[in-house]
Amino acid sequence: IITNNFALCNGRWPTQIVLATIFVGALVPSYLAGAAVALVVMGTAVLGVLLTLLVSWALSRSVLKGEVSTFSLELPPYRPPRILQTLYTSVIDRTLKVLWRALIFAAPAGAVIWLISNLTIGGTPIAVHTIDFLNPFGLLLGLNGVILLAYIVAIPANEIVIPTILMLTVLVTGITGVGEGAGVMFELNSEAATGAILRAGGWTLLTAISTMIFVLIHNPCSTTIFTTYKVTGSKRWTTVTALLPLFMGFAVTFGVAQIWRLVEGW
């Protein structure tokens, strides 16, 4: 459970692919772009596997030393098909309940995103004040204040990270003619247009690489945190599951950013 977050979920693959396509694909000839993007994205996934093994090894020799390890493998029932029961399970248990849980977590987040983008202090949106506050720390990690705020408000679902980043970037930079207004997340059909907005927000190749690493190594979404608590019944281990990958993400992105800048300075 603790290391589960190091495996890319469905909500994080698109972010990895989009960022790799925009920033890494542009570094090589067009006929090599697809291979370069695939290599970088798969490299990120492999990094997640290595981190899983490393953290599991460290935990088994420290706080979990002496604990019995178990491996659970869920197998399908070997019986004649039960069509009605399968439909009920798929629709009710695996679709409607998941959607309802997502709605419970997403609705408050949507309200927060709209409020911080439209409520002002001294004529400046709260989101802009927050971004300015987070920006120095974000830059140390190779990120920026927009990315950090996007991850704070997008905790219900990783799928809304890029739309939130685009909305906040437009809000901060004052770009006109794009999006649906302050507090309204949006996506663009064109990768070139998405890249133009990100670059207008100060994104570089380092920003993209650091973000891809942070996409892999950060706190789980709220649904995963809730599920972890339901499964373990422990506030302690739920907290560890949420904070361990977050602090690891800070450490890894900080290290990558400092090495990158050191090499770049040569």
**CA–CA distance, 195 with 262 (Å, rounded to integer):** 26
Which run of H or E residues covers position 125? strand 124-125
Provide the pLDDT for residue 141: 96
Provide the pLDDT for residue 2: 83
Q: Where are the alpha helices (DSSP H) in the chain?
A: 13-19, 30-60, 83-88, 97-118, 126-140, 145-153, 161-173, 191-200, 205-216, 222-232, 235-265
Query: Strands 120-121 and 124-125, how do they pair?
Result: antiparallel
DSSP 66-112: TPPP---------SS--HHHHHHIIIIIIIIHHHHHHHHHHHHHHHH
| Cβ atoms of 198 and 229 closer than 8 Å | no
**CA–CA distance, 212 with 206 (Å, rounded to integer):** 10
Cα–Cα distance list, 3 to 14, 38, 148 (Å): 21, 24, 22
Q: Where are the alpha helices (DSSP H) in 4-29?
A: 13-19
pTM for the model: 0.87
Cα–Cα distance list, 125 to 58, 74, 109, 128 (Å): 44, 49, 17, 5
Contacts of 148 (CB under 8 A, 6+ apart): 134, 137, 138
From first to last of its 266 residues, what are the pLDDT tens digits of the chain? 788 889 888 889 999 999 999 999 999 998 999 999 999 999 999 999 999 999 989 988 888 777 776 767 777 778 787 888 778 777 777 677 767 766 777 777 788 888 999 999 999 999 999 999 999 999 999 999 999 999 999 888 888 899 999 999 999 998 888 877 788 888 888 889 999 999 999 999 999 999 999 999 999 988 888 888 988 888 998 999 999 999 999 999 999 999 999 998 77
